[in-house]
Amino acid sequence: MEKLIITAAICGAEVTKKMNPAIPYTVEEIVREAKSAYDAGAAIVHLHVRTDDGVPTQDKARFKECIDAIKAAIPDVIIIPSTGGAVGMSAEERLQPTELFPEMATLDCGTCNFGDTIFENSMPLMRDFGKRMMENNIKPEYECFEMGHLDTALKMINKGQLPGHPIHVNFVLGVLGCTPATIPNLVWMVSALPPGATWCATGIGLTEFPIAAAAIAMGGHVRVGFEDNIFIERRKIAKSNGELVEKVVRIAKELGREIATPDEARRILGLTK
């Protein structure tokens, strides 16, 4: 089995300091959380950014400030900016971080319920995002909340509308309104991947850890972080993203899976930049 790539989704767009005071808003807080995750073993930071008072933004300048500050502290880490942003943002707003030419960026693969709201990712939007990523030589991380999302992405890849192989997919399970975070669901979705694809699994809330354990055992990769889960165990909020990553590293060690450095992750993911 390849070494395990751990992604830390350090911030997200939905969680707030009221839920967990360690949620990062400022540039300094973003760097603190990225470094805590990296020091614990994360090779990738999945990045959303906020204004200083916590409002989610896709502002290019804010992304640049945060990416530059993270890179100054931990130069080799892989940063995957979000093009999902927050529910209700326009496509152009969401695309702004692609103008910074990151190695990778997320590409969300279908419209879905997202709690009480609707996360809009129509096929024309996906085509526009795919075109931008091909033009800017950005490898997408395909975000699939449903089996239909993966099927849509694969069909669009086959038509040349989205960047192709080797593809990397993140299965996000347990969002309210989407596929529940169960191991049979994960196994089913992984079984639909084409040969040569790499994949990562994300469980929302405290399903983060059983889904991580399953992905580690199956040879996939893992995402944890405040974006998906603010608890280290039942009723106990996590002190940092690093604490969440440490728990995954402990599970991986028990299961005999070594942890990938960022450069090892670049090789596994076929990153060329």
Q: Nearer to ligand KMH by C-beta: 40 or 49?
A: 49
**CA angle centred on 240, ends 234 and 241, rounded to 5°:** 90
Under the binding rule (CB under 5 A), the answer on residue 152 touching Zn ion is no
Under the binding rule (CB under 6 A), the answer on residue 82 touching ligand KMH is yes
What is the smallest separation between the CB atom of 253 and Zn ion, expressed in angstroms? 27
Under the binding rule (CB under 6 A), the answer on residue 119 touching ligand KMH is yes
What is the smallest separation between the CB atom of 240 and Zn ion, expressed in angstroms? 18
Distances (CA, A) of 108 to 3, 17, 134, 171: 26, 26, 15, 11
What is the smallest separation between the CB atom of 258 and ligand KMH, expressed in angstroms? 27
What is the smallest separation between the CB atom of 7 and ligand KMH, expressed in angstroms? 11
* Partner from ligand KMH, Zn ion, none contacting 114, C-beta within 5 to 8 A by type: ligand KMH
Report which residue's Cβ sits closest to ligand KMH: 84
**Burial class of residue 90 in the structure, from the number of CB atoms within 10 Å of its CB (0-12 exposed, 13-18 middle, 19+ buried):** exposed
What is the smallest separation between the CB atom of 1 and ligand KMH, expressed in angstroms? 27
Measured CA to CA, the distance from residue 206 to residue 237 in angstroms comes to 11
Under the binding rule (CB under 6 A), the answer on residue 142 touching ligand KMH is no
- Dihedral of CA atoms 209, 222, 58, 153 in degrees, nearest 10, equals -120
Measured CA to CA, the distance from residue 163 to residue 131 in angstroms comes to 8
Measured CA to CA, the distance from residue 258 to residue 273 in angstroms comes to 24
What is the smallest separation between the CB atom of 228 and ligand KMH, expressed in angstroms? 9
Measured CA to CA, the distance from residue 157 to residue 130 in angstroms comes to 9
Report whether 61 contacts 99 (CB < 8 A): no
Under the binding rule (CB under 6 A), the answer on residue 13 touching ligand KMH is yes
Residue 145 corresponds to which tokens in the numbers above? Answer: 């909340």
Torsion region of 41: left, alpha or beta (phi above 0 gives left; psi -120 to 50 gives alpha): left
Q: Nearer to ligand KMH by C-beta: 36 or 98?
A: 98
Under the binding rule (CB under 6 A), the answer on residue 146 touching ligand KMH is no
Under the binding rule (CB under 5 A), the answer on residue 229 touching Zn ion is no
Report whether 173 contacts 207 (CB < 8 A): yes
Measured CA to CA, the distance from residue 83 to residue 159 in angstroms comes to 22
Under the binding rule (CB under 5 A), the answer on residue 241 touching Zn ion is no
Distances (CA, A) of 137 to 93, 182, 232: 19, 34, 37
Near Zn ion in 2-41, by CB under 5 A = none
* Partner from ligand KMH, Zn ion, none contacting 240, C-beta within 5 to 8 A by type: none
* Single residue of 36, 82, 121, 229 touching Zn ion by CB under 5 A: 82
Under the binding rule (CB under 6 A), the answer on residue 226 touching ligand KMH is no
* Single residue of 106, 111, 198, 240 touching ligand KMH by CB under 6 A: 106
Please report, as ranges, the residues that interact with Zn ion according to CB under 5 A: 82
Please report, as ranges, the residues that interact with ligand KMH according to CB under 6 A: 13, 82-84, 86-87, 106, 108, 114, 119, 143
